[in-house]
Amino acid sequence: MTQKELKEFLDFKAQQYENRDFIDSDPIQLVHRFTKKEDIEIVGFLVATIAWGNRKGIIKSGENLIKIMGNNPHEFILSYTSQELDFVHRTFNAQDLDFFFRSLRRIYELGDLESCFGQHSEIEGVKGRIIEFRSRFLTTNHEKRSEKHISNPLKNSACKRINMFLRWMVRPSNHGVDLGIWKSIPTSELCLPLDVHTSNNARRLGLISRKQDDWKALEELMRNLRKMDKKDPVKYDFALFGLGVFEGFGA
């Protein structure tokens, strides 16, 4: 395909998959249950954090998280004290969850979650924002093992789950999928949540040449996607993901 043909193809696929039907099988459906800003943030962040593996399994574990928080996430977090929790999702266990609850409580006692993704003093864009957030989140006392659940772009991680969370919070809700409740981060800065479907399809379409699914590959992909839409390049997540999951593109 020519560059023009590729853009037309991806624009069509992005429009095809960014609609309310998409959330029926996606963990974002859990976030849509809430209307209060803080509840949306908390559920979105926690569900995105455990978003690896089978999507049905993610949704089931997300349901358990919401149940633990008594269907009132913000109120629960504000009054949370360390306790034994009955939760495990793959390598994310009760000890990790206790730390996440305590760190979120500290964040809301001092301000809000959105402000933790403020601009970095030296590193521009979403990479700097993630580094800034990670630094603030880890100030709460925790076991070293829990740090692996907050990906670090300085170690070349593609930060799939944090980027997915940011997409949910920042992109407008016009199509009924993303929530669009954060206004301090422009959509032009966002990075796509790179997973096996999006990366494999991006390579098939010539959007990534790098073999590893890391931050460098993500930067390469985003440079190419911004050539097609500099204001909202992450909309192509729906195209690349949908082609793999729903169409078996390239299989």
pLDDT given for residue 191 in this prediction: 98
Q: What stretch of H or E contains 194?
A: none
pLDDT by residue (tens digit) across 38-53? 999 999 999 999 999 8
Note whether residue 18 is domain-resident. yes
Tokens 């500290």 map to which residue? 106
User: CA end-to-end span of the chain, whole Å?
Assistant: 19
DSSP string, 202-234: HHHTTS---SS-SHHHHHHHHHHHHHH-SS-GG
Contact 243, 13 (CB under 8 A): yes
Note whether residue 19 is domain-resident. yes
Note whether residue 118 is domain-resident. yes
Note whether residue 146 is domain-resident. yes
CA distance 35 to 181: 10
Structural domain containing residue 104: 3-245
Average pLDDT, the chain: 95
**CA angle in degrees (0–180, nearest 5) for 128-132-133:** 120
pLDDT given for residue 25 in this prediction: 87
Count up the domains in the chain and report the number: 1
- Of 95, 86, 33, the closest CA to residue 59 belongs to 33
Note whether residue 250 is domain-resident. no
Note whether residue 251 is domain-resident. no
pLDDT given for residue 249 in this prediction: 65
Note whether residue 167 is domain-resident. yes
pTM: 0.96
pLDDT by residue (tens digit) across 136-184? 999 999 999 999 999 999 999 999 999 999 999 999 999 999 999 999 9
* Average pLDDT of the segment spanning 215-239: 98
* Cα separation values, 216 from 127, 205, 223, Å: 11, 18, 11
Strand partners, 89: 92
pLDDT by residue (tens digit) across 90-145? 999 999 999 999 999 999 999 999 999 999 989 999 999 999 999 999 999 999 99
Note whether residue 7 is domain-resident. yes
